[in-house]
Amino acid sequence: MRSRIAVAIAAAVTLAAAGCSGGGSGNDGGDQKSFEFWSFSGINQKAAVDEYQQKHPDIHIKLTEVGSSVETAQALTTALAGGKVPDLVLIQGDDLPKFVEQPQNFVDLRSLGADDVKKDYLDWVWSQSVAKDGEVLGVPTDVGGLAIAYRTDLFAAAKLPTDRDAVSKLWPTWDKFIEVGKQYKAATGKPFVDNASTSVFYQAVNQGDMKFYDADRNLAYDHSPQVKEAFDYALTAAQAGITAKLSSFSEGWSAGMAKGDFAVLAAPSWMLGGIRSNAPATKGKWDIATIPGGAGNWGGSYLAIPKNAKNQQAAWNYIKEMQSPQSQLAHYVGSGSLPSTPAVYKDAQLTSHKDPFFSNAPTGKIYTESLLGLKPFYIGPDSSAIGQEFQNVLTNVEQGKGDPGTAWDTALKNIKTAIGK
Amino acid sequence: MRDSIGERIAPYAYIAPFFLIFAVFGLFPLLFTFYVALFDWNPVGEHTFVGLDNFARLFDDPRFWNAMRNTIGIWFLSTVPQLLIALGIAHLLNHTRLRFATLFRMSMLVPYITSVAATTVVFAQLFDRDYGLLNWVLHLIGVGPVNFAQSTWGSQLMIATMVIWRWTGYTTLLYLASLQAISRDIYEAASVDGAGNWKQFRYITIPSLRPVIVFTIVTSTIGGLQIFTEPLLVSRSAPLTCGPVRQCQTLTLFLFEQGFGQFKFGYGAAIGVSLFILVVAFALLNFLLSTRIRREKP
């Protein structure tokens, strides 16, 4: 209350106007011996920075943990508008499209040699940082992967298999997944999955090669079969009463997870830490099975260099060395964030990794395999708004307030209003 | 001669810092918002002049009118009870026989100095569908569970409760300060004349408090129309819309969603200008009403 948002937005815009004169390009001003690096908090980027400085004592890195990933993107927005930018910045995948749409703000990394390392990375991850004329704006630092975390004790109580391979075989497709949900509901009377919009729609809609835009970067959300299918899966799940109607990351969702109010949820690799901290008493009662549809990803970040950065070469040297397949593998061993470089997916350090909280599931193996079946698709400037409107309509139906018969049309109408076209 | 010029300038020099800072951080951003509202303005991309298109779109946008309804709804649900409760508590705290008066008076400010984010998280838990304290109490009397966060009235009630919780203490202290300025003699004279507690409250307390009541109505209206943090934090799955059907999205949150969520600064600025006009209209209305109240003799 009483926060002066109008003033804040105007102040940000003022900076934008004031900064239009912001300085020249490239490597003129910098000494290439030091560079400024903006990252998010909570992901221990400092470990990588310290390691790099130890190997290169002549380089000084000024690391700033700006805040959450969203706050970092907002700070970058202001910085780009104002002209005073860091040399290197970490951008979360969901925030990336807005920046990719304005490639003139970033260094085209091809000019520094990105084409030489392109082959090291998953093609669909790489493609998300490629702008309209082929400019490469970021190098992927990690990915989320996707799997289903499930409660073995609740599955046993519902007379369902508990072994992770047998469970994975239960649901090769989303249709089968919903069937298993109905069985679980019939046996226990309790909901099966946390919610329809995140655990079903948001995951299924990423499995294919045409999401909200087609290959020519035109809007396709209203006729892409992949989108309609994902929407219908979620609608079916919501109407079947197999969802606990708990929105991901809400207070009720965390509590429900600890109390066993639902038996499964879609879990990318970074979600495992959340399950551990939300439901510490359930240690050993979880296991991890493959995602219906076989492949998926949720999350991941990119390193980019703003156009007006002074120490572009120093920043690029850092990217090249610290995001190489071997460095990403070392980072995985230390922090658990999944490499975006498939060359190391067969490495024993990754495949042998087991998680005791999740019944010793081989998480490295399960998550990297979920990444191999994905195809590149274009993520456009309005992708996040479109996705949010679809999810909102689904949540409303799930809560018993929206009409499932008109849900699709309502979603299309809301999207038209939201994106103005 | 020199001294007198210096003396004449001095007062202006003393107040100049405020006006300078206001011009830079208050007036300029305000005017600049009006300017930006005329553009299709991407903060990291192109700025295209579109005239009044943003406003034309805004008035056709159902989301804008929804946010307007929500803002006024939450403002009403929070301001009216807040001022009434504050008046009652101030009257109690002013009682001569109250012991540890300072302790009680100071504790009124605790919600005000508590972080809004922390308050919001706690209240969201109290109102939770499955494990909330409120639904537990409702369950005891055989009602519910009520899904507060997902319904329009429920989510607005939830936010209004947070606002009441946060601001009642502050308003109470304002009332209390002016209550203490009322001479005890008047109350004693009224007692002698046989006026009870209620009559004293009605015919002495309220009329004496009129100026400060007007002040609190004005400030809480301006604040209430700009409510932002609470609706932003109550819905974790759709924070910028305050839930799947924008059931508690306020104007400031809509502005933030468009400006910083969608990078449509021009459209966001147009919302800001509309909010500005709304606040001015409410302030004028308040002014007219309060001058009438002031003219009425008790």
Per residue in B134-145, pLDDT (tens digit) is 989 998 998 878
Q: A157 with A279, same domain?
A: yes
User: For a pLDDT cut of 70, what percent of chain B falls above it?
Assistant: 97
Strand A88-92 with A139-143, pairing: unpaired
Q: A68 with A173, same domain?
A: no
Contact at 8 Å (CB) between B117 and B233?
yes
Does a structural domain hold residue B13?
A: no
Q: What letter would DSSP give residue A306? A: B
CA distances from A357 to A157, A286, A352 (A): 20, 7, 15
Which residues partner with A300 through β-bridges? A143
Does a structural domain hold residue A189?
A: yes
Give me the pLDDT at residue B296, please. Answer: 58
What residues of A are in contact with residue B265 (Cβ under 8 Å)? 9, 12-13, 16
Q: Give burial (CB, 10 Å; 0-12/13-18/19+) of A221.
A: buried
Does a structural domain hold residue A54?
A: yes
Count CB pairs under 8 A between chains A and B: 157
Sign of the four-CA dihedral A133, A138, A140, A144: negative
Matching residue, tokens 């994975």 = A168
Q: Which residues of chain A have pLDDT under 70?
A: 1-29, 421
Provide the terminal-to-terminal Cα distance of chain A, rounded to the nearest Å.
33
Does a structural domain hold residue B38?
A: no
pLDDT in tens, B285-296: 887 877 776 665
Does a structural domain hold residue B15?
A: no
Q: A97 with A62, same domain?
A: yes
Its domain, for residue A31, covers 21-143+299-344
Q: A172 with A136, same domain?
A: no
Q: What's the CATH code of the domain at A382?
A: 3.40.190.10
Contact at 8 Å (CB) between A372 and A401?
no
Sign of the four-CA dihedral A326, A372, A127, B256: negative
Averaged over B254-281, what is the pLDDT? Answer: 92
Cα A140–Cα A141–Cα A145 angle in degrees, nearest 5: 85
Which residues partner with A148 through β-bridges? A266, A289
Does a structural domain hold residue A173?
A: yes
Which of B262, B274, B275 is the best residue to mutate to test the A interface, defined by the most A CB atoms within 10 Å of its own CB?
Answer: B262
- pLDDT of B165 strictly over 60: yes
Distance CA A109, CA A76 (A): 18
Q: A379 with A275, same domain?
A: yes
Does a structural domain hold residue B278?
A: yes
Distance CA A282, CA B45 (A): 48
Does a structural domain hold residue B24?
A: no
Does a structural domain hold residue B4?
A: no
pLDDT in tens, A195-250: 999 999 999 998 888 899 998 889 999 999 999 999 999 999 999 999 999 988 88
Residue numbers of A between 372 and 401 with CB closer than 8 Å to B:
381, 385, 388, 391-396, 399, 401
Q: Structurally, how many domains does chain A consist of?
A: 2
Quickly count: other Cβ atoms within 10 Å of residue A368's Cβ.
Answer: 23
Q: What's the CATH code of the domain at B179?
A: 1.10.3720.10
Instruction: Give the pTM.
Output: 0.82
Averaged over B264-270, what is the pLDDT? Answer: 94
Q: How many residues does chain A have?
A: 421
- pLDDT of B251 strictly over 90: yes
Q: A318 with A384, same domain?
A: no
What residues of A are in contact with residue B25 (Cβ under 8 Å)? 7, 11
- Calculate the average pLDDT of chain B: 88
- pLDDT of B210 strictly over 90: no
Q: How far is A172 from chain B (nearest CA, A)?
A: 28
Sign of the four-CA dihedral A374, A378, A381, A387: negative
Q: A90 with A136, same domain?
A: yes
Q: Which residues touch A36 (CB under 8 Å, ≥6 apart)? A: A61, A62, A64, A86, A87, A88, A311
Q: Structurally, how many domains does chain B consist of?
A: 1
**A212 closest CA partner among A397, A411, A402, A393:** A411
- pLDDT of B2 strictly over 50: yes
Q: pLDDT-derived band of residue B239, with 50, 70 and 90 as boundaries?
A: confident
Q: A331 with A268, same domain?
A: no
HSE-CB for A219 with a 13 A CA cutoff? 15
Does a structural domain hold residue A258?
A: yes
Give me the pLDDT at residue B286, please. Answer: 81
Distance CA A52, CA A63 (A): 12
Three-state SS at A288 = strand
Its domain, for residue B258, covers 56-295
pLDDT in tens, B20-58: 999 999 999 999 999 999 999 988 888 999 999 999 999
Does a structural domain hold residue A350?
A: no
Q: A159 with A284, same domain?
A: yes
Q: Which residues touch B104 (CB under 8 Å, ≥6 apart)? A: B93, B98
CA distances from B120 to B70, B130, B156, B162, B230 (A): 18, 18, 13, 7, 6
Q: A333 with A318, same domain?
A: yes
Does a structural domain hold residue B108?
A: yes
Q: A100 with A161, same domain?
A: no
pLDDT in tens, B90-142: 888 887 677 787 888 888 888 988 888 888 888 988 988 888 899 899 989 98
Q: A189 with A232, same domain?
A: yes
Q: Do A395 and B224 touch (CB under 8 A)?
A: no
Averaged over B55-71, what is the pLDDT? Answer: 94
